[in-house]
Structures are given as C-alpha cells and as structure tokens.
Structure 1
C-alpha cells in the first residue's frame, strides 16, 4: 500500500469484524489494523485462541457476537463447511452490514456461501472476496515492481467502497468483475491458484495481475 493510500485509509476507518482465527483471518486482521481500521476478531474461544500478531497492530479479540455487534463490515474467514451453521445462527446480526465471504467450501457443489447469506441476512450487502489467494498474498502482495490484483464480486454502491478499501488495505488492487452472479468466476480462480501453486509447481507465493491497454 502506498503512503497516500495508507493515509486515506486511516482517514476513513472502517469498523470491521474478522470472524475466524486461522491463518487467513489472522493475516487479514493484521493488515486491516495496520491500515488504520478498527478491527475486532471474533472467535468461539476468545480466552484460548492466540492472535498475538494482530494484537500488536491494534486488533481486538472477542466473542463472535461482540465482534458482530461492534462492526459495520464483517469478513467471514472460517472453514467453509462451518458456514452452514454459522450464518443461520448469526444471520440477524448481519442485517444491513457489508458481509464478505472469504470462505471456500471445497468439495461442495458451490464453493461460496452467498446464497446462505442472502437467505438468512437478506438486507446485508454480500461480497465474494479474499478467497482466491493464499495468506502469503495478503501479507505481501508485491512481486518485484508489480503489485497483485484481487478479483471480487458484489453489488455496486457503498458496500463496494467498503470492500475495496479493505482489499486495498492488504496492498492488493481490487478488481470488481460484476455482481454476485459472477461469483463462480471468482471461485474459478481458487481452482486456478491451487492448480498453478501445487500441480504446476509455482508455489504458494503466486498472484494474479489483470493487464489492459
């Protein structure tokens, strides 16, 4: 993130809840907090789970309920299969918020949980983002002189501004490919990333760049 973008981010601090303390959740929480956003990390066991790296940058650890109550935007970064229980349980708490699905339900007919969010939180503004790259890309998005891009889907409007600010907080350039009818295209990049990283042998420090004239 450039100095200008960092200063702009701090002037427009977002109250964001990151739900999940895995490597993706911890990395995103750290980057959001470093960019000046007010970050609360929600977990089922706030007294047991460690989040020292994010705490050092100002993120706060709490219960899931407390994190949701204090947020205007929510990033779900838990196991994708667990969304089937989590979203019905907390759907009412997502009403009117920007909700970003960063989970991947690998092996399921649909990798994302956008339909579940729409069913249980119909007034939430849902986005599909942070699911198509590894945590390494969020920690360091630079490849020599180039900075990586992150494709995402979701509705245009105020929620888009919030989502793009959070993506920019990681240093990645946000690329909106359309509304959530394009979410499968975002999910296809998950398959591509895994194929290139592991089957083709490029390794986990692999990013994407969209080039235009």
Structure 2
C-alpha cells in the first residue's frame, strides 16, 4: 500500500515506522524539508520525503498526523490531492485543563471531512500516547491493544483495519464518522485520568461478561 504522511512529529514517526517495516511505501510530507528528510531516514524501509502535497498525492492512504489546530486548514489546502483517498485522523482536540476543544461542534475528524469532502476520513489511533504506538507490538498482559476505528466508507475502513494489524493491534468497529467525537471525548477523559489524577483508566470498565449487568 502507498501511504502518505502529513506531519513530522511523534505520531508520524511511530506509525510510519511500523508501516514501512510491514512493506508499505511511505512518503513523509512536511513543510520543513530537512525535518521530513530526517524522519524518512529514521523510519527506514525505503521511506522517502517530500512536501505535504507530494505525500498526499502519492498515498492511497494518507495519515493526517497534525495538531488539531492545523488539520482542517491543511486538508483544505490539499483537498484536490486528497480526492478519493483514505485519510486517517489521529488528532486529539484537547486543550488546557483537559478540555475538549470541539465541545458542541464538529469533531476534529468531521472538520477534516468537511475541508476535504472528496476524501474518506477515518478516525483511529487517537487513544494512546505516541510511545505506546512505538511498541513492537503494543501487547498488554498477553492481549493486543484494541484500536477503535470510525468511518463511513467500507473500503476505507478495510484499509485502515489492515494498517491497525500492521502495528500489532486489533481493530474494533467504532461506527460511522459521526461517532468520532465520542473517541475524541474518550481521549480527553482518559488523558485527564492518566495525567491529572494518576488513575488507571482501564479500571473504570468491567469485563465484557459484566457489561450488561451481573452475570446470572
């Protein structure tokens, strides 16, 4: 699969490295050519660097590893290049005090979709710190990390599920793109629990057998 990566930060580094190791053709796109070139070298596996536009044009799938504040603007600039492409949004619109910046409005993923209406936007990879995504693989107590995936296009979802498995995780159907905001709100809650309270967010959910009430 040809994958374009928009951004040169930690999430771009972590995910692109897995995908290059899995044999995908990766193009790192950054506004700073030096940073993009340096990241492509670090990713390895034949990854190349270029501009954001060249990365968007080259990829069948495009990872938008961009800050929330920049995502929609960049997608709008590249809307023609993103036409028909699968676009993965991994951003978290979380501000000071662990506040959800999109509260009452469109999710970050829906804003990307509105800015590039010809793209097939999928929300994924937003619930963990970048160092978790660097793990080879992210397995805890013998169980692979589950990654919720939200989107509206079946082909796009299938491609993203493949990329989730290439990271060593298990994809979980999260529903349509209208549910992306729930993933982003979950991230805001989890970050507040982990960072603000030092709490174990996993401890707030019972095992699946108890999800509907006590086992009879």
Q: TM-score scaled by structure 1?
A: 0.83
1:122-201 equivalences under 5 Å are: 122-140=117-135, 141-201=138-198
- Tell me the secondary structure at the aligned position of residue 63 of structure 2: strand
Paired with 2:83 and 2:206, the residues of 1 have a C-alpha distance of 33
Deviation at 1:196?
3.1
Compare 102-111 and 177-186 and name the one that shifted more.
102-111
Q: Computing the radius of gyration over CA atoms, which structure comes out larger, 1 or 2?
A: 2
- 1:151–1:174 contact (8 Å) kept in structure 2: yes
1:14-25 equivalences under 5 Å are: 14-25=1-12
- 2:93–2:184 contact (8 Å) kept in structure 1: no
Match of 2:51 among 58, 63, 66: 63
Deviation at 1:64?
0.9
- 2:83–2:116 contact (8 Å) kept in structure 1: yes
Report the number of matched residues: 198
Residue of structure 2 equivalent to 1:53? 42
Paired with 1:188 and 1:105, the residues of 2 have a C-alpha distance of 9
Q: Which runs of 5+ in 2 are unaligned?
A: 96-100, 210-216
Per-residue deviation, residues 18-64 of structure 1 (Å, max 9, x unmatched) = 1111111111110111111111111011234421421x233222111
Root mean square deviation, CA, Å = 2.6
Q: TM-score scaled by structure 2?
A: 0.81
Runs (4+) of structure 1 exceeding 4 A deviation are: 208-213
Q: Which runs of 5+ in 1 are unaligned?
A: 1-13
